[in-house]
Amino acid sequence: MSLDTVLSRISEIRSQIDTLQSGTATAAAATSTSSADSAASSTAFASALADASGTAAPTTAPATSVDAGKGTVATGSGATGDDVVTDAKKYLGVPYVFGGTTTSGMDCSGLVQTVFKDLGVTMPRVVPDQAKMGVAVPSLAQAQPGDLIIPKGEGHVVIYVGDGKVLHAPRPGKDVRIVDNWYKDSDIATIRRIVPSAQDAAATKAASAAGAGSSGTDLQTAALMSLLQSGSAAA
């Protein structure tokens, strides 16, 4: 790529940015050649922007399913831990039925699967598989509403609702209820965060809003410089 070509692309990209920022972009008639050039420039800019920010450009929409997200929280549905608690409370009073997943009756893992399904997040059916989802929370001291607490043996799962309380489907003869958490850290196999806590989601949103004005310009500049450097090297 020659230096003249790079400079020409930079000019085109800057024009596109100015048009988008001013809100005056129009679908003016253009030749197929200019459309192709514009697409190529946009692709080059996106690639350079990804290199400059250190983040690969996304190729697909964020996944809402956690069965493909072991080791990460599921953000695609937009749900937070508070949403998990709110939805789970809809099932208070539902009788325990082994293998159940409906308001006619549900067991502990059926309750968890149903709650996350309501929120657009796909969860496995049984506790040992649910124990592999999301990210691990180090201890009860770091647990947030919506986290799953799974005791050693992985024979049960409860939803932490905050203030030292959990929501669960206990056993035959009982119904879905909120009780004081009786587990100690030494009793627990893992604590899993499936979706972001409300606190983390709010912090991420605030940081994104605060950095939108300056970081976007910095990344654009870095991307343009990356194109210029690659063109100079090829000249």
- What whole-number distance in Å separates Cα of residue 88 and Cα of residue 105? 14
Q: What digits encode the pLDDT tens for the residues 136-154?
A: 999 999 999 999 999 999 9
Distances (CA, A) of 109 to 1, 14, 53, 179, 183: 58, 53, 40, 17, 17
Residue 108 among the catalytic residues: yes
* Confidence band, pLDDT 50/70/90 cuts, at residue 35: very low
Active site residue 54: no
Contact in structure between 193 and 147 (CB atoms under 8 Å): yes
pTM, entire model: 0.64
Tell me the per-residue pLDDT of 63-95, one tens digit each, with 9 for 90 and over: 456 654 688 888 888 999 999 999 999 999 999
168 is catalytic: yes
Residue 196 one-letter amino acid: P
What is the length of the chain?
A: 235
Over the stretch 99-137, which tens digit does the pLDDT of each residue have?
999 999 999 999 999 999 999 999 999 999 999 999 999
Q: What is the chain's mean pLDDT, rounded?
A: 79
| pLDDT reported for residue 62 | 45
Domains of the chain as residue ranges with CATH: 3-59+208-234 (no CATH), 66-196 (3.90.1720.10)
Residue whose C-alpha is closest to residue 97's, from 183, 170, 38, 28: 170
Of these residues, 168, 193, 223, 227, which one is catalytic? Answer: 168
Tell me which of 89, 132, 156, 165 is the catalytic residue.
156
Catalytic residue among 13, 79, 94, 108: 108
Residue 49 has pLDDT above 50, yes or no: no
